[in-house]
Structure 1
């Protein structure tokens, strides 16, 4: 019934879909096995993509030839560029998506991707021979063989759902958990643990009074995520989100259910996400606050279902409902589904190589929540890298490894492998030491050529990047040469509160003034407009950023250069740390467990001191 595949992907969440697409587009024959063909890339929690640092990741996925940016642009109902008041390193695109359209679009794209086959079934175990993964065994008893296997199990491995004192198996509400894989992997020598995540109630939007809430509209300009030309809605078609707040009365009502809370009664063993806590956790951790912000978010264009962002909970259903009815605008709310917590197995990611291949079993790759991360974007980027490298391994090619200085994806994978995680890992701009270089606007310039050489990014994408790079250099050259006449610009300078020019000044110098934007200057001055009217807004923005932040960008490049010396010092796989008696015991244990690939990675392992790295460097020199 089944031929042998190059790559089998287990699970069709965000990680699984990206993994299948990447491997197939590189030329692998791929089988995507999923328990439910109706829930491709299901947005199990918040119906949104992007946000702080996460938006940069989606841009990077797109620049590498992944599908998440295209799908998001095709299904968004609202777009906002966050942090525009700050520097470009902090700008982060975010889109509210139509949940059903998002999943439908993902399925369409995969069905139109050559080399992808689909099979609806559970995977109960892996086929392992001579320390290598070479296929899967399904719930219906089929043995399906492949060269590489990618597991993207999400929250399904021994998943348990909690609502108050109710507890039942499930990987998502109304979907059964997956069993067998964890137990097999532990027998093979893997270390496993438990994590927890949660989701808020879903509400009937017809029962809400939006007049009591603050409206939050989308941007007047929809930039989107993909560097390709994707048809998007126009700004006027966007759906608004709304903001409301809890109160002390809401908190007091929620507290009446704490004695039946699975979190406080010890029924949940796994650690929850620090940066997306449940409402009961927020009440405890921030006891001094008498209110918390709630975002009231539509689930799509053609549905009345509402997602209550900020009200994640596993309290008893009646307590959730009573508390919600005390929130302004929710007095007569009707609940579609209560919030719940879900507990699931994960495998500490220190057991992985940079390619996301496991150290214990060759040809076996992990991506997504199985590695201890949380978030669609974090899962999708791991799926992309795992899919690429599963293909590379199947065809005996070198893996793709992104450095911390090259991408947020590189930061995420390095953090997971070097430091591990004992709580759901979420990406932030603060985790990236080179965030001035890793901006959302230049992901294509950073990554597309690398992907094109692999054979993933298309010729069309590569040509767009080459044109953009050439145009940016042309614009920067014009800026350095063109002297702005005071009479052309002084009225504009006056409107933005900037000192008028007395003499002509080079445009590149004028742009260094705070509060000035090239786009506004072009709109104001016919002469400046005439000079730049042949260039795209994307190229103009890129050139402006490079001119304004040239000093900071160069400083960061110098820092990367200095640190690259450590990154280039490769530690042999057979290196014996036991012979270095001057190492601290903790460093020796961590080095033996993680087996760092370079001195740079060794320096980032938690518990390792600079003196340990220096000692290691001396011995390697010998």
Structure 2
């Protein structure tokens, strides 16, 4: 057996989106980092859909950008189509999304990582953890090599005990064609941590030339989109199309007749699948009366012959998948490059973690990504970012970065994970954020810039650029407090009779009217924009944010009052050694849930499932004694 002794500050296990962001964040905080991955060539790979962002996910990406993450600016570089979603609804839920060239994305990530002087990428499989006086001290590789560090971030994705299902066929793998990881689950459970099984799936990949593109509908992105990253200057993505098709009854009939061959329906899969990203089998079974389901044909990279079928996640036998899809006119002669499949894997319920994503039982051990029961690139990357920087701060005996539910979708994500039961893969939605009006995609910089600076997450040039943008926003809002002349007011309402035109008043008052846009205001209010070097897309976003703050002023104020009330509970700390089993005045369910979760604040305790307001009242009295 050969041994190699290497010392690091932080060890990151896994090279997916969570691992990449964890390693990058730690290196940026002057840590010596080892990123350990089964396959060095797969670091940064987009293993599923060729897209970044989406509803609520786009907000996560914007927030990560302010905190110094890689994903936002990499998506800008590799993006081929950008679109703002949910425009038919209120601005609080508008969300940016990008189609991305998967190959270019991966290349960009690798280029950045390979250029980081404090990072060492190690090919290998972690099989055990070393503890010293119950604190993390390092990891053991299957090769016998030993790496030491005071903090370890586990970002193992679907590789722990991974089992791939295609119909009745089962293969031990972390992803199709890639080895599963064995050892970490056993090591952690032997230390007293609880594990579970979850399932996710992916659709088949089609051979592009076999698709009848004339029978599909091309869908393009926005004409003048904004990028994800505030650091992106020259932005002109190519706006390449995706294509829509619909399933039909003949397709449904084949799936319905073969449900018994799906591992999810036959009982072969023990893991629970994602509720909000159902397989095509689930859709057909649950929505029997629905005549068709929309599918999106998405190229995986520029000029790609490999097409991702968004909306057709499945684990049916390959021939059944092919037969069903060939009932759709555009896919009459379609060929597969790879069938769809389901994968079940081990995860560790995140109620065992602190808000910093550190284990409550093992100091120095952090978890991020699908190992915490989440689904999606963006959720994983956000956790990786927080875990990586908090592992670094742990090493320096500094307080962790913990974002509140009122501050960021990242805060909502982590708070939900550590306070609620994760019985199925967790996916972020705008509906999960009770203060979503405060968490708009367009104000991520306003919310998080000062925190990013104080925690040393961003460079001064980036800070100064965003700070200037925020000051510009404030000045324009202040300027709009000036009154419009009578002539200017008449210009706002050209179709109204003069005796019905409103009297002169501050410009803000008119912007609050639903029929008045900020773009109809006199140009003199926006002279500041013309005298700065701000990019056109960011100039437009400044105006959008100004208009939003003015139009929604009353609602925003009301939500801030709600936040103030919530924070009174949130700031009440709970002693870590409290024994809930001895508090007979709260319900048995609450005792059991609180004993397992061990919330750090009264606010967290209130959000634990099964805990009632009456239980919180009793707990509050005890804490104030």
- With the shorter chain as reference, the TM-score category is over 0.9
> Residues 514-538 of structure 1, C-alpha deviation per residue, up to 9 Å, x if partnerless?
143223x26xx65566575336333
1:606 corresponds to: 609
Aligned to 2:576, which of 573, 578, 586?
Answer: 573
2:201 corresponds to: 198
Map 1:123-142; keep pairs closer than 5 Å.
123-142=126-145
Report the CA distance between 1:493 and its aligned residue.
5.7
8 A Cα contact 2:76 2:232, kept in partner: no
Structure 2 CA distance for partners of 1:156 and 1:494, relative to 1, 3 Å: farther
1:466 corresponds to: 467
2:530 aligned with 1:533: yes
Other structure's SS at 2:264 match = coil
Structure 2 CA distance for partners of 1:366 and 1:489, relative to 1, 3 Å: farther
Query: Distance in 1 between the 2:486 and 2:516 partners?
Result: 16
Report the CA distance between 1:154 and its aligned residue.
0.2
Structure 2 CA distance for partners of 1:532 and 1:110, relative to 1, 3 Å: closer
Map 1:547-558; keep pairs closer than 5 Å.
547-558=550-561
Map 1:248-263; keep pairs closer than 5 Å.
248-263=249-264
Query: Distance in 2 between the 1:315 and 1:84 partners?
Result: 35
Is the deviation greater in 62-71 or in 77-86? 77-86
Other structure's SS at 1:94 match = strand
8 A Cα contact 2:152 2:366, kept in partner: yes
Other structure's SS at 2:113 match = helix
Is the deviation greater in 68-77 or in 223-232? 223-232
Aligned to 1:23, which of 26, 31, 39?
Answer: 26
2:270 corresponds to: 269
Other structure's SS at 1:603 match = helix
Query: Distance in 1 between the 2:487 and 2:291 partners?
Result: 54
Structure 2 CA distance for partners of 1:484 and 1:181, relative to 1, 3 Å: farther
Query: Distance in 1 between the 2:488 and 2:233 partners?
Result: 40
1:507 corresponds to: 507
Is the deviation greater in 176-185 or in 499-508? 499-508
> Residues 140-173 of structure 1, C-alpha deviation per residue, up to 9 Å, x if partnerless?
1101111100000000001000001110100111
Is the deviation greater in 103-112 or in 196-205? 103-112
2:230 aligned with 1:223: no
1:350 corresponds to: 351
Other structure's SS at 1:264 match = helix
Report the CA distance between 1:488 and its aligned residue.
7.3
Query: Distance in 2 between the 1:582 and 1:174 partners?
Result: 54
Q: What RMSD over aligned residues (CA atoms) do the two structures have, in Å?
A: 1.9
8 A Cα contact 1:154 1:368, kept in partner: yes
Q: Which runs of 5+ in 1 are unaligned?
A: none
Query: Distance in 2 between the 1:503 and 1:532 partners?
Result: 28
Report the CA distance between 1:431 and its aligned residue.
0.4
Report the CA distance between 1:58 and its aligned residue.
0.5
2:48 aligned with 1:45: yes
1:433 corresponds to: 434
2:536 corresponds to: none
Normalising to structure 2: TM-score of the pair?
A: 0.95
2:42 aligned with 1:36: no
Query: Distance in 2 between the 1:212 and 1:477 partners?
Result: 53
1:287 corresponds to: 288
8 A Cα contact 2:36 2:124, kept in partner: yes
Other structure's SS at 1:483 match = coil
Is the deviation greater in 187-196 or in 40-49? 40-49
> Residues 307-365 of structure 1, C-alpha deviation per residue, up to 9 Å, x if partnerless?
00000000000010011111131112111100000010000111101110111211010
Report the CA distance between 1:503 and its aligned residue.
3.9
1:78 corresponds to: 81
Tell me the matched-pair count: 616
Aligned to 2:170, which of 167, 170, 179?
Answer: 167
Report the CA distance between 1:539 and its aligned residue.
2.3
Query: Distance in 1 between the 2:439 and 2:603 partners?
Result: 19
Is the deviation greater in 541-550 or in 375-384? 541-550
Map 1:75-114; keep pairs closer than 5 Å.
75-114=78-117
Other structure's SS at 1:79 match = strand
8 A Cα contact 1:127 1:133, kept in partner: yes
Other structure's SS at 2:150 match = strand
1:385 corresponds to: 386
Structure 2 CA distance for partners of 1:556 and 1:163, relative to 1, 3 Å: same
Other structure's SS at 2:329 match = coil
Query: Distance in 2 between the 1:67 and 1:493 partners?
Result: 48
Other structure's SS at 1:592 match = helix
Query: Distance in 1 between the 2:561 and 2:98 partners?
Result: 34
> Residues 374-423 of structure 1, C-alpha deviation per residue, up to 9 Å, x if partnerless?
00000000000000111011111111111111111111111110113110
Q: Which runs of 5+ in 2 are unaligned?
A: 533-538
Other structure's SS at 1:243 match = strand
Aligned to 1:65, which of 58, 63, 68?
Answer: 68
Query: Distance in 2 between the 1:526 and 1:438 partners?
Result: 29
Query: Distance in 1 between the 2:265 and 2:44 partners?
Result: 32
Is the deviation greater in 338-347 or in 508-517? 508-517
Report the CA distance between 1:506 and its aligned residue.
2.6
Other structure's SS at 1:198 match = strand
Query: Distance in 2 between the 1:226 and 1:517 partners?
Result: 26
Report the CA distance between 1:478 and its aligned residue.
1.2
Structure 2 CA distance for partners of 1:603 and 1:254, relative to 1, 3 Å: same
